[in-house]
Structure 1
Amino acid sequence: MMAEPAEIQSILGLDVSRDTVTLCDGRRHTVTVANEADALRAALQPYQGTTTLAVCEATGGYEDILLGVLLELAIPAHRADPAKVKAYIASFGKRAKNDPIDASWLSRYGCDRATTLPRWQPADPTQQKLELLVARRLDLVAMRVQEQNRLKAPRSRLIADNIRDHLAELERHIEALNAEIDTLIGESRDLALRAQQLRSVPGVGPVLAPLLLAVIPELGTLNRRQVASLAGVAPHPKDSGKANWHRSTTGGRRQIRPALFIAALAACRGDNPLAVAYKALLKAAKPKRVALTAIMRKIITIANARVRDAVRHQNEIGKINA
């Protein structure tokens, strides 16, 4: 849901840290309060019922109390991408930084972009838990790779038993997380439907399907260009004047691309339309890297389309039954 210009009369910038929140009302008047529900409720009470948009940055969870209070007081909020805010400030050539200055910049950022900033909405508890479980699994898998590399090092012979014990423990935790993720998806009708559609795409297995559900919850609501961009497999032009460089795939949500690469390898080795498309690209003298990227893009766009159609069909059945 987008913030409408007519609804917004003032912007409240909020700089969040672990212990405090600094508020700036756009008139360079700032106040700092404790990052606690009661203190924030008292500070934000005057803005309840007004046409104010609150803007804060994502801070890894320290903003959760603030967003909960804003929701309780029915004050619309936008949780900004810190990289975008940093680039916005840099465009003015400013370097000074402290909490009041940051709050002032957030207010100005919101003022300039109020018509295009999406309002923050609380995450579904099941979706939020899935995201945390999948993120934890990614962390443990990365630790497992590190330990496996250490075990191969020539100087690790003296501590090899310790490394093997840690690897075994990591395997147990990963398997437990896999079981918990499968149970969570199975208990949710919506997630189970989406996972079923994802698993029907060649190359998408029991690891990639939950990853897509967690990292791209918008799956099924995007067009093919948007979903390819989010997955980091959209070719972006890099032209200037008469120079036409090779298009490159950059950006996107970093967790998706490595998993999509593995899925593309699996799909290309199978007996399916994607394998046929891959061989046709190679026959057309496309480099293997380019052909694999094209298959990665096909996988995510097909997954997006199948989830979209399945959800739409489910909604139509729900309306008929109602």
Structure 2
Amino acid sequence: MMAEPTEIQSILGLDVSRDTVTLCDGRRHTVTVANEADALRAALQPYQGTTTLAVCEATGGYEDILLGVLLELAIPAHRADPAKVKAYIASFGKRAKNDPIDARWLSRYGRDRAATLPRWQSADPTQQKLELLVARRLDLVAMRVQEQNRLKAPRSRLIADNIRDHLAELERHIEALNAEIDTLIGESRDLALRAQQLRSVPGVGPVLAPLLLAVIPELGTLNRRQVASLAGVAPHPKDSGKANWHRSTTGGRRQIRPALFIAALAACRGDNPLAVAYKALLKAAKPKRVALTAIMRKIITIANARVRDAVRHQNEIGQINA
């Protein structure tokens, strides 16, 4: 059984690279081992069954082997946001950097914040595959936009045929990914239920629904303020003393906001309550940009509420049947 936050007594900082992992248990001494399961298992074995919290950074997948071994040994772990760790180190005015130094900083970061750090949990395989498919689709769509822009450039006439061929190939790959995403969602009872509820929200179509499922898997478990903040549509105050500035919407998961903008445009052009709300905002002399942002916020909060209610209802039926 994994130790609870209040039981943690020591912190293990782990700096991960492609080939190696450097460990620091809070003292000055560090050790570097190969980023391989057997080597990591041998190095971490002494910490099994102890009140230790392991802290590593997200490194784009190079930490997966380490996290798998930590899970196998039942050692609680936190996968830290590199930006937060960097800001933490900068707050001390330190600039020196190498693997042992980074491991020591991770250990210190974990020691100072152990009580509030969320514990890493392995992702559901279906959810993990959906995230990868959606991320790949985003990459291909971005490539398509780049190629379309190149095709319009005045100096691209000599290579226009090549660009068109590449665009056609990208379209084929995107359509194949769309089909694979739809099949994956259809084969999962939970994902299918969530997708059905998302598609019932005005403006949410076949592209945004899988994107929300992949990028905000917490959908349905958050309150309206939390989900708006994750989507990057929460108005944050910028006040100081007697100065009161306009609140701006910043942060959140960067993939969501552009897609929500398109969804808001579609919803505002339809015949639905969101379109009525948009017209009411314009009538109240709100700028179009502000009104659209408000509709974006309504879309994500409605989606969150509908997923929450549907999952809760499904669980209640499951308990009754059991």
Deviation string for 1:117-142 (max 9, x for gaps)? 11100000000000000000000000
CA offset at residue 57 of structure 1?
0.2
Deviation string for 1:37-89 (max 9, x for gaps)? 00000000000010100000000000000000001111010000000000000
CA offset at residue 91 of structure 1?
0.5
**Matching of residue 320 in structure 1 with residue 320 in structure 2:** yes
Percentage identity across paired residues of the two chains = 98
User: Where do 1:3-14 residues align within 5 Å?
Assistant: 4-14=4-14
TM-score (norm 1): 0.99
- Counterpart secondary structure, 1:114: helix
Q: Residues 70 and 295 from structure 1, CA distance in 2 versus in 1: closer, same or farther, beyond 3 angstroms?
A: same
CA offset at residue 149 of structure 1?
0.5
More deviation, 3-12/46-55: 3-12
User: Where do 1:158-177 residues align within 5 Å?
Assistant: 158-177=158-177
CA offset at residue 282 of structure 1?
0.1
CA distance in structure 1 between the partners assigned to 2:4 and 2:48 by the alignment:
18
- Counterpart secondary structure, 2:229: helix
CA offset at residue 29 of structure 1?
1.6
Deviation string for 1:215-236 (max 9, x for gaps)? 0000000000000000000000
Contact in 1 for aligned 2:2/2:75 (Cα 8 Å): no
CA distance in structure 2 between the partners assigned to 1:21 and 1:284 by the alignment:
58
CA distance in structure 2 between the partners assigned to 1:253 and 1:58 by the alignment:
15
CA distance in structure 2 between the partners assigned to 1:289 and 1:25 by the alignment:
51
Give the unaligned 5+ runs of structure 1.
none
Partner of residue 18, structure 2: 18
CA offset at residue 7 of structure 1?
1.6
Q: Residues 209 and 5 from structure 1, CA distance in 2 versus in 1: closer, same or farther, beyond 3 angstroms?
A: closer
Contact in 1 for aligned 2:3/2:51 (Cα 8 Å): no
- Counterpart secondary structure, 1:54: strand
Contact in 1 for aligned 2:2/2:76 (Cα 8 Å): no
CA offset at residue 2 of structure 1?
11
Contact in 2 for aligned 1:3/1:115 (Cα 8 Å): no
**RMSD over equivalenced CA pairs, Å:** 1.1
Q: Residues 87 and 289 from structure 1, CA distance in 2 versus in 1: closer, same or farther, beyond 3 angstroms?
A: same
CA distance in structure 2 between the partners assigned to 1:109 and 1:3 by the alignment:
18
Q: Residues 118 and 3 from structure 1, CA distance in 2 versus in 1: closer, same or farther, beyond 3 angstroms?
A: farther
- Counterpart secondary structure, 1:115: helix
TM-score (norm 2): 0.99
Partner of residue 301, structure 1: 301
- Counterpart secondary structure, 2:116: coil
CA distance in structure 2 between the partners assigned to 1:56 and 1:208 by the alignment:
32
Partner of residue 107, structure 2: 107
Give the unaligned 5+ runs of structure 2.
none
CA offset at residue 6 of structure 1?
3.0
